[in-house]
A and B are shown apart, each in its own frame.
Chain A
Amino acid sequence: MAKSDTKGKRFLNAIIYPFTRNGARINFVKLSKNRTALAFLLPICAILLSFVLGSIILAIIGAQPGKAILSMFQGAGILAKSRYGGGQSQFSDFMMLLNNATPLVFASLAVSVALSAGMFNIGISGVMILSGFISSVLIGYSSLPHYVARPLVIIISAILGLLAGSLVGYLKFKFNINEVVQAIMFNYTFMYLSNYFIYRYFINPITRSSNIVSDEARLTLTDIQVGGVKIVIPLGFILLIVVAVLVYIFLTRTKDGFELRAVGLNARCAEYVGISVKKNIILAMALSGALAGLAGATYYLGATNTIKPEVLPSTGFDAIAVCLLGGSHPIGIFLSSLLISGMTTGGAYMQARVGVSTQVPSLIIGIMLTFAACTAFMRYYIQKVSLNIEDNLKKEGLL
């Protein structure tokens, strides 16, 4: 461009350049080096791709993809319905969504904290049952008033989870038992043992589920009238925000949080610097367990008020994938949890409106998670291609 070019001409060129071949190549290389941008874009690609595939599936079974997906989000309260029944509004739907999503966010935080120290926690479901069961029996079936019951539920659940997590960390260190293997064992052990007691003493023969816990102990307030609309108030959600902020502050601003992350990033360096790897692994698993315990409390004494025996809550496994989708960052985790909970919650409305079974949202979630599992490869492939392009650009003198 000559100096005599007008400002307007230069401006136009600047807009067009990114779309030229060279401009696109340079921008691609720059983008591939921007880790935060990639951390956003790749999961979004996975989500979009899965919706595309989901739309195709919806079309094949004879439903209108646009209408179906729209009604799914309307059912979740993320978008507004055209009409609401008596005592319901988008707000009430959204509150229900928060209620359902809270356990998932707790569980995903649990996965994320463990991952910060390089550990995989797939035992969240088992801890959820453990904490849900013991809290139900000790507090949920008691007649304690709410201002005692609810704090106790929270404290007991967190402590149980903390102990379970510490045990896993300790066993890993002392006996070198892989934490994934331990998690499988503990999941089913906790489930079957608590099932025994439920069947024996606490079963409701009609619902085939455990006796429901008292409303005083429940972390979700139901049937609350607010301006002509009946909503639920998930107290667990408030707790979640507080805990999430605390966890985030711990990991990013305290010395111990930093040491924990250092162990996860490079255990050899952490050791060289004088950090105790053992202590931090146990700490990470303990924290992760405590969060899993809270997931259990907000699930069994919050989102629902009963324990269905012989079922491992899928929350513990969905959380792993949510963590993957959310890039281990609290905001990403929160948004991904909302998305996935939203899709499951909104499935009922989608069925009512478009006649598509609730299995479709689950399927789209499954596809989404499969794509999410590919993000590591996408990142690697993008780096590879980018390095090639960068080399070529350098040879051509453009970089």
Chain B
Amino acid sequence: MNTVLSSTLAFGLPLFIIAIGGIFSERSGVTNLALEGFMGAGAFTGALFAVIIMSKTGWSSANVMWFAILFAALGGAIFSAIHAVLCVYLRADMVISGVVMNILSTALTAFLVTTINEKAFKIGATGKFHIGVAGKFTIPGISKIPFLGGLFTDIYYYELLIIVLAIIMYVLLYKTRYGLRLRACGEFPQAADSAGVNVYHIRFSAVLISGALSGIGGMCLAYYLITQFDANLFYLGYGYLSISALIFGSWKILPTLGACLLFSFVKYFALWFASLPGINLSSVVTSTVFQALPYIITLVALIFFSKSNASPGALGEIYDKGKR
């Protein structure tokens, strides 16, 4: 059971930071289905620099992880700028743009990894960047508590980073001038505009934030799940899972944390459950059912809470300053 809880955090927190990115984008009014693609673009960039740094300096993968995360944020942000420009300035349909971003990201990262491996690193046309494992630690003492001890076992250092970032983002969204203006743009951009807020700038920056955060989350997931970046293995729909989580959490940060942890718990509980002696199912089999659960739960929640459909008022609407 210990492993279930520690895995819940190790998987759920990266999911959470990606979802926060989605929250920022959507609450500024830009529909964002491209979290999957941003995740991949960020993880690719981070993995690339991780591999370069490790080969040049020989530092351990755990130490290099911090650089990887930094570059992942940059890579995610730069890639997301395409979506930002398309949606905010070029009046593209936001749903289409999001889907296209995902397609582009998969194709682009797959191509780049193989090509860079072949041409730049000269190790042959393989599709993987090996980044190694991330560092983790266990808090002595508390971790021995039965049951809840799992929460304090095998904590990856990136989880701490994510918690700090999440707190910063929370304050940014709810307590600062920027956050207030961002939320106004997503509810009623005309009001923001008449109050002197530049809706275009705010929406653009919100999408970049979602790119950066998705990149960070994607990088952490790459470290945790597969210790490498491989475009064929990476895109498992976790970007869509975080969208599901933020919808379940009504576009609010704390409920979304709950949703992410819930979804993550369900996933690892299933794996653990299937591995119990006496249960004759392979872990893969059971886990698939449980993996459907997050989505079913969200759908049911939407049906039952349809009265309080809380999406941002102007979500998905292209803002045109000329129309008064």
Contact = CB atoms under 8 A, between A and B. Distances in A.
B125 interface: yes
A199 B244 contact: no
Given A185-B244, A185-B296, A317 B99 contact: yes
B240 interface: yes
Interface in A355-399: 357, 359-360, 362-363, 365-367, 369-370, 372-374, 376-377, 380
A314 B292 CA distance: 19
Contact of B299 (A62, A182, A359, A369): A182
A368 B31 CA distance: 22
A263 B296 CA distance: 30
A180 B95 contact: yes
B318 to A, nearest CB: 9
B164 interface: no
Contacts of A171: 303
Given A120-B95, A122-B99, A357 B240 contact: no
Contacts of A373: 86, 92-93, 96-97, 100
B310 to A, nearest CB: 11
B298 interface: yes
Given A61-B119, A184-B295, A318-B103, A192 B288 contact: yes
A374 B90 contact: yes
Contacts of A321: 96, 99-100, 103
B293 to A, nearest CB: 8
Contacts of B110: 359, 362-363
A189 B107 contact: no
Q: How large is the interface on B (under 10, 10 to 19, 20 to 34, 35 or more residues)?
A: 35 or more
Interface in B71-130: 82, 86, 90-93, 95-97, 99-108, 110-111, 114-115, 119, 125
Interface string A154-178: 0000000000000000010011111
B87 to A, nearest CB: 9
Nearest to A120: B95
A188 interface: yes
A363 B107 contact: yes
Nearest to A374: B90
A243 interface: no
A26 interface: no
Interface string B224-252: 00000000000011001101100100000
Contact of B93 (A191, A317, A359, A376): A376
Contacts, number: 145
A195 interface: yes
A195 B288 contact: yes
B63 interface: no
Nearest to A192: B292
Contacts of A61: 115, 119
Contact of B125 (A188, A312, A357, A369): A357
Interface string B300-312: 0011001001010
A21 interface: no
A360 B110 CA distance: 9
A324 interface: yes
Contact of A178 (B292, B294, B298, B311): B311
Given A185-B295, A199-B288, A377 B103 contact: no
B103 A365 contact: yes
A366 B112 CA distance: 13
A332 to B, nearest CB: 16
Centre residue among A192, A199, A373 by max chain B CB count within 10 A: A373
A206 interface: no
Given A176-B309, A182-B299, A359-B111, A380 B91 contact: yes
B95 A184 contact: no
Contacts of A195: 288
Nearest to B291: A192
A193 interface: yes
Interface residues of A, number: 51
Contacts of A314: 103
Given A189-B292, A199-B284, A376-B92, A184 B103 contact: no
A320 interface: yes
Contact of A369 (B103, B114, B240, B306): B103
A254 B292 CA distance: 40
Contacts of B125: 357
A363 B105 CA distance: 9
Nearest to B243: A184
B60 interface: no
B33 interface: yes
B172 interface: no
A181 interface: yes
A16 B282 CA distance: 76
Contacts of A176: 306, 309
Nearest to B86: A373
Contacts of B160: none
A370 B240 CA distance: 20
Contacts of B303: 171, 175, 177
A174 B96 CA distance: 25
B142 interface: no
Determine which residue in B33, B240, B244, B288 has the highest number of CB atoms from chain A within 10 A of its CB, and name it: B288
Given A61-B115, A362-B107, A377 B91 contact: yes
A360 B281 CA distance: 40
Contacts of B282: 199
A196 B274 CA distance: 13
B285 interface: yes
Contacts of B296: 185, 189
Nearest to B281: A200
B92 A377 contact: yes
Nearest to A360: B111
Given A177-B303, A196-B288, A374 B114 contact: no
B99 to A, nearest CB: 5
A40 to B, nearest CB: 20
18 contacts: A62-B119, A122-B99, A176-B309, A181-B302, A182-B299, A185-B295, A188-B237, A188-B241, A191-B292, A192-B295, A317-B103, A318-B103, A320-B96, A320-B100, A321-B96, A359-B114, A373-B97, A376-B92
**10 tightest A-B CB contacts, nearest first:** A192-B292, A175-B306, A377-B90, A366-B104, A366-B107, A362-B107, A359-B111, A196-B288, A195-B288, A185-B299
Interface of B: 31, 33, 82, 86, 90-93, 95-97, 99-108, 110-111, 114-115, 119, 125, 236-237, 240-241, 243-244, 247, 281-282, 284-286, 288-289, 291-292, 294-296, 298-299, 302-303, 306, 309, 311
